[in-house]
Amino acid sequence: MTSTVTVVEHIMSANDRLAAQNRAELETSRVLGVNVLASPGAGKTSVILRTIEVLQESLQLGVIEGDTAAVTIDTDKIMSAGMPAVQINTGGQCHLDAVMMGNALPQMPLADIDLLIVENVGNLICPASFTLGTHFNIVIASVPEGDDKPYKYPNIYRSIDALILNKTDLLPYIDFNTEYFRRGIEILNPDVHFFPMSCKTGEGVPEWADWLRERVAIFQKNA
């Protein structure tokens, strides 16, 4: 006999359930989690290092570094900046998922941390589908990637709270229409916070750090 069984289950439900566990673990320790998404080389590690520079006076940070290969370059940079860092090697996978995040959390001194930054694997497509349990997502775009990216990869920009446009020091050398770019982001996400930045000159770093500090303060007040 054949029959039809109604299922109606979200395909990512297993990952989402684990992400909810990760979220609960973060909240038990009053840690705000941020998932950083970007293409390879957009400046994720550079932005994190700049953020540590400015925020280390007032906040304790921790960093989880996702990489497709077993190289510790980015993790070493964070540790030499004096912050705890854990490396996740995805074994070639194009994204972090909630399982990998759950395995990394026990290696983090969560009790001592206020803000946990997760550097996802450099990729604009896959990480958008896999929630980790962090409280919000940000994207780092960079000027050399071109101003049409929001139109070509609309998915990743829809669920983010903030967008950093990095490498603004290169604007004089590259045809990049900031208004066109920004409009593409805002079409599906009119409330996104937009931070033009240059990790080279430091321009825009204080505005971003202020916003992040504020988010941590609000979170800890409500936690």
By CB atoms closer than 10 A (0-12, 13-18, 19+), residue 81 is middle
25 or 74: whose CB is closer to Mg ion? 74
Binding mask 23-62 for Mg ion (x = CB under 5 A): ---------------------xx-----------------
CB 118 within 8 A of CB 17: no
Q: Name the one residue in this structure whose structure tokens are 């906040």.
A: 59
3-state secondary structure of 80: helix
| Closest chain position to ligand GTP (CB) | 122
* Pairing label, strands 85-89, 136-142: unpaired
Q: How far is the CB of 154 from another protein (least distance, A)?
A: 5
Which residues are near ligand GTP by CB under 6 A? 38, 40-46, 74, 122, 166-167, 169-170, 198-200
CB 133 within 8 Å of CB 108: no
Does residue 3 touch another protein according to CB under 8 A? yes
Query: Residue 209: which residues within 8 A CB-CB, separation 6 or more?
Result: 51, 54, 55
Instruction: Decide which of Mg ion, ligand GTP, another protein, none touches 38; Cβ closer than 5 to 8 Å per partner kind.
Output: ligand GTP
Count how many Cα atoms sit within 13 Å of the Cα of residue 146 in the half-sphere of its side chain.
6
Residue 4 makes contact with another protein by CB under 8 A: yes
Nearest distance in Å: CB 207, Mg ion: 22
Q: Least distance in Å: CB of 118 to another protein?
A: 17
Return residues touching another protein (CB under 8 A). 1-15, 92-95, 97, 125-126, 128-130, 150-151, 154-155, 158, 183-184, 186-188, 190
